[in-house]
Amino acid sequence: MSDNDVEAALRDLGRQIHVPEPPDVTARVLTKINAPERRNRWLAALVAAVTAFAIAFAVSPAVRAGVQHLLEFAGVEFRTEPPASVAPPLPSQEVSLDEARKQLPFEIYLPPQLGQPDQITVHEGRFVTLHYKDIRLDQFDGTIQSTAGKLIHDEGVEQIGDKVWIPYPHVFFYIDRNGQWHDEEPQGAGKTLLWQRGQVTMRLEGDLTKEKALEISEG
């Protein structure tokens, strides 16, 4: 058999072989990315980084001058200093629950312990805040890009399972689609619990005890 005959036979065989479409593994990959074990490792790294830099920050002028960005987790950036450029707050849009559900690309979660919010505001169709008197619950997709920024300068950040508890007031920023930081709460955020429901990051803030915050998050 000549080389030409072999080549022709191989081409004919190739036309007869059925190659199935490759499986869609997107859901499987996202599941692994958001698996509790992976989140717990990131949370442990976050808490360790915050604690280590808090100690160094207190004793080392060089660290204070040079360290800014600590870590990013679930769409939240933790820093010791804000970016050089911080813009004014973005106007928020007050909407009904039905309208918010139409605008947001994810399901809005209403904790049973809190019920219907007193007010709902939306930023850029991707960040929603549920207002309950002295409590607010922010929700956003934490898998796409950073959406919130926090300034951390002290010890006390605590990992509780797959959640992060910040037990003291701190500065909070909104990060827009272009990566620009905006003042969100000029007076600073209160005690805060961070956790994820699937791909959605939850940020619960208010005059809450750790126990009450955890109870709300587990509802």
If you average pLDDT over every residue of the chain, what do you get? 75
Q: Rounded to 5 degrees, what angle do the CA atoms 208, 210, 216 make? A: 75
Report pLDDT digits (tens) over 149-185: 877 665 678 889 989 898 887 888 888 889 898 887 6
Judge whether residue 42 has pLDDT over 60: no
pLDDT at position 64 is 37
What are the residue ranges spanned by the domains of the chain?
3-217
| Of residues 60 and 184, more confidently modeled | 184
pLDDT at position 147 is 84
Q: Which of 136, 147, 156, 157 is nearest to 216 (CA)?
A: 136
Average pLDDT on 38-63 reads 48
Average pLDDT on 16-43 reads 52
Average pLDDT on 113-125 reads 95
Q: Show the DSSP H helices in 143-200 as ranges.
A: none
Burial 8-35 (b: 16+ CB within 10 A, else e): eeeeeeeeeeeeeeeeeeeeeeeeeebe
Measured between alpha carbons, how far is 173 from 184 in angstroms, rounded to an integer? 5
| Of residues 148 and 197, more confidently modeled | 197
User: 86-87 and 135-141: which strand pairing?
Assistant: unpaired
Q: What is the pTM of this model?
A: 0.67
Report pLDDT digits (tens) over 186-206: 556 788 999 999 999 999 999
Average pLDDT on 65-90 reads 72
Percent of the chain exceeding pLDDT 90 equals: 32
What would the two tokens of residue 215 be? 């109870």
Measured between alpha carbons, how far is 44 from 160 in angstroms, rounded to an integer? 10
Measured between alpha carbons, how far is 82 from 56 in angstroms, rounded to an integer? 18
Burial 127-150 (b: 16+ CB within 10 A, else e): bbbbebeebbbbbbbbeebbbbbb
For the chain, count helices (H), then strands (E): 6, 14
Measured between alpha carbons, how far is 189 from 187 in angstroms, rounded to an integer? 7
Full 3-state SS string of 19-81: CCCCCCCHHHHHHHHCCHHHHHHHHHHHHHHHHHHHHHHHHCHHHHHHCCEEEEECCEEEECC
Strand order in the sheet with 135-141: 93-94, 119-123, 127-132, 135-141, 200-206, 191-197, 163-166, 158-160
